[in-house]
Structure formats: C-alpha cells, structure tokens
C-alpha cells in the first residue's frame, strides 16, 4: 500500500484510483461496506483501490482541546486498511487551506486536479467543504461536471441500530467490548509502543507492558481479558493476557494508560509495538487495603481471563 499525504504532489502512478472518502475511525463494518463497494467499482473500471482520509481528524483540528474521541491512531488505521487490501491511502493533511475550501473547490482541487480520482464512494451522510456545506447531491453534481463517478453507500444497520463510531464509543465507555466488536467486525484494539513504567507489576509477580492511550477515546476503566499481538521483534506473535485500563488508584492518581500482563511470557518488550484487543470487561478499578489483597485479586482476574480466552481463537 502506498501512502500519499499531499494532494498537490501526486505522481501519475498514484492518480486514477477509485477511492472511498471518510475518516474511517475504527474501520468498522459500516466503513467495510463502503470499502467493499469501492473495491467492486475499482475492479470494474480497472483502477487501484484507494481511501481518502484526513490527518488530523477534522474534529480534532477544529476542537483541539476537546476530550479525546478517536477509536484508533492513524498508524492503527493504516495497519487495518492495509489488511483490507487498499492500494492507495490518501491520508491528506487537514489544515487551514483545506478547511477553507468550498465544496466546489474541494471537488476541483483535491478530487479532480490533485488526486485525479476516477470514482469516489461516500456514505449517505457525507458532508464536505467549508462549514460542511456540501452533501451527496452536490458531490454527484460536481462529479458530472468534472468527470469523476460517484457512488453513495447506504448506512449500515446492525441488530442494535446504526453502526457508527459514536455507537462503538458508547459501547466501550460502558464496558461492552463485545458489542463494540460486533460493530467493528474485529476486536477493539489499542496499538502503541511499550513504554517504561514504575515496575510495580514486576515486584508483584505480574510484569506488565505499559502503553499510552493519549489521544484515544478511553474505554471504561478497569480490568479486561485481552488478546495481544507483539508486532515486531524476537517475541513476535499472539498471546492471551489480562490488562488494566486506568489510573492505578492503588498507587495514587496517575495518567491513564494500559498495562498488559501476557500469560506464559518471558522477555523484554520495551520499545516494542503491541496491539491489544479488548475481549471482555472483568471488573472496575479498585483500591485495595493491602498489596496481598491486590495480588489475590490479580490471581483471580488472570484465572477468569484464561477461562474466557480459552474459547477465543481469533486475534483479528
């Protein structure tokens, strides 16, 4: 997969794609349906399969001090899209210039002249241009004028309503990772590099791999059964484990992070990229009266997590 970040400098080889347009936060089943429509159109017209998205997320750009809302980092999104066979990822820099484009300027400057797209696919609720002034009817009109095709994808609905990033965030906030996974089509995963910690887990007999959740929507704080993928290095592979999401109240107020204990693992993971899939919420964070009480609870958490994960065979 090739990644293009500047629509004003695009080689001829990277033009001419059929591309789905959107933020693709979470790459959930609704996004997958849009991508599948785009793939079918790309195959039909003999074009590369493309995705046009934006970094930072426009919502971040306009409200940088708002609480974190993203389901995944741009790196995790890239990994997921690559798994889906995307040929061209147009991860465009969302800045003052792009945010100021009228709908017509966006269609002309970005879609037609910049990326030279042959066809675009968007969801039925797609809006574009300054002030979100353009809608799907405007996009169809510009496509007819400017020479690119347009397909509008219906919004996807699941058993519990519309599949959306908002619904997935709500499920995660309420400690329902399986409901989130049903909408995502995969486990909700937090990806990042292992960072140094205070090594209290090691002293307690539970060494953990610590990861930052900065910039991400925080799932409900507490302990989870997890599926872990070590993405690089000598320990590369898939593991079962238990993870704590939160501020570690036993040891005072701390910055929220994710601490994962991998079952049946021995080795150094510092600076190694991990992907942690949340499978089941076990219990909320708790402050214990003693370290012995904490260790006893951790023993019980890991036993329960092993039982839950024994029936899980996928790490997607």
DSSP 242: E
- Decide: helix, strand or coil at residue 300: helix
Q: Which residue has the higher pLDDT, 104 or 246?
A: 104
Looking at residue 248, what is its pLDDT? Answer: 72
Helix (H) or strand (E) holding 211: strand 209-212
Q: Is the pLDDT at 88 greater than 90, yes or no? A: yes
Contact 5, 89 (CB under 8 A): no
CATH 2.40.30.30 range(s) for the chain read: 187-309
Q: What pLDDT, in 10s, does the model give residues 192-237? A: 999 986 666 666 778 899 999 999 999 999 999 999 999 999 999 9
Provide the CATH topology of domain 187-309.
Answer: Elongation Factor Tu (Ef-tu); domain 3 (2.40.30)
**53 — phi, psi (to 5°)?**
-140, -175
Looking at residue 312, what is its pLDDT? Answer: 77
* Check whether domain 16-158 has CATH 3.40.50.620, yes or no: yes
Q: What pLDDT, in 10s, does the model give residues 227-259? A: 999 999 999 999 999 999 998 765 555 688 999
Q: What pLDDT, in 10s, does the model give residues 27-51? A: 999 999 999 999 999 999 999 999 9
Looking at residue 298, what is its pLDDT? Answer: 93
Torsional sign, CA 285, 273, 54, 34: negative
Looking at residue 154, what is its pLDDT? Answer: 85
Return the ∠ at Cα 234 (arms to 199 and 298), rounded to 5°. 35
Q: Is the pLDDT at 158 greater than 80, yes or no? A: no
**Structure confidence at residue 261 as a pLDDT band (50, 70, 90):** very high
DSSP 250: G
Q: Taking the complete model, does pTM exceed 0.75, yes or no?
A: yes
Q: Is the pLDDT at 159 greater than 70, yes or no? A: no
Interval 53-64 mean pLDDT: 94
Q: How many other CB atoms sit within 10 Å of the CB of residue 170?
A: 14
CATH 3.40.50.620 range(s) for the chain read: 16-158
Contact 99, 54 (CB under 8 A): no
Looking at residue 175, what is its pLDDT? Answer: 98
Interval 152-170 mean pLDDT: 82
Q: How many angstroms separate the CA atoms of 226 and 181, rounded?
A: 13
% of the chain at pLDDT higher than 70: 93
104's CB contacts (< 8 A; 6+ apart) are 129, 134, 142
Contact 146, 112 (CB under 8 A): yes
Q: Is the pLDDT at 314 greater than 60, yes or no? A: no
Look at the chain and count its residues. Answer: 316
28 dihedral zone (left: phi>0; alpha: psi -120 to 50; beta): beta
% of the chain at pLDDT higher than 90: 82
Q: How many angstroms separate the CA atoms of 93 and 96, rounded?
A: 10
275's CB contacts (< 8 A; 6+ apart) are 76, 79, 189, 190, 191, 228, 229, 231
Looking at residue 10, what is its pLDDT? Answer: 95
Q: What pLDDT, in 10s, does the model give residues 298-310? A: 999 999 999 999 9
Q: Is the pLDDT at 156 greater than 90, yes or no? A: no
Looking at residue 160, what is its pLDDT? Answer: 61
Pull the structure tokens for residue 196.
């140094």
């Amino acid at each position: 997969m090739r990644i293009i970040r500047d629509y004003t400098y695009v080689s001829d080889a990277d033009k001419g794609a059929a591309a789905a347009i959107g933020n693709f936060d979470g790459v959930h089943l609704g996004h997958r349906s849009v991508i599948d429509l785009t793939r079918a159109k790309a195959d039909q017209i003999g074009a590369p399969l493309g995705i046009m998205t934006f970094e930072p997320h426009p919502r971040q750009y306009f409200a940088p001090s708002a609480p974190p809302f993203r389901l995944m980092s741009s790196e995790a999104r890239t990994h997921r899209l690559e798994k889906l066979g995307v040929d061209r990822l147009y991860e465009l820099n969302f800045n003052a210039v792009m945010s100021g484009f009228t709908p017509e300027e966006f269609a002309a400057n970005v879609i037609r002249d910049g990326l030279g797209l042959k066809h675009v696919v968007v969801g039925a609720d797609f809006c574009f241009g300054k002030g979100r002034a353009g809608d799907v009817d405007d996009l169809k009109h510009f496509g007819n004028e400017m020479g690119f095709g347009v397909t509008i994808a219906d919004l996807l609905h699941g058993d519990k309503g519309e599949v959306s990033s908002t619904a997935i965030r709500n499920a995660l906030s309420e400690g329902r990772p399986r409901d989130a996974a049903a909408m995502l089509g995969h486990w909700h995963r937090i990806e990042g590099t292992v960072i140094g910690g205070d090594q209290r887990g090691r002293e307690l007999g539970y060494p953990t791999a610590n990861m930052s959740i900065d910039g991400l929507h925080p799932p409900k704080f507490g302990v989870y059964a997890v599926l872990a993928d070590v993405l690089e290095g000598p320990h590369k592979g898939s593991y079962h484990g238990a993870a704590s999401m939160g501020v570690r109240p036993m040891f005072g107020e701390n910055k929220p992070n994710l601490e994962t204990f991998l079952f049946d693992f021995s080795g150094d993971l510092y600076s190694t990229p991990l992907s942690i899939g949340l499978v089941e919420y076990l219990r909320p964070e708790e402050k214990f009266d003693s370290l012995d009480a904490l260790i006893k609870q951790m023993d019980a958490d890991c036993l329960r997590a092993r039982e839950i994960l024994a029936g899980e065979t996928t790490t997607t």
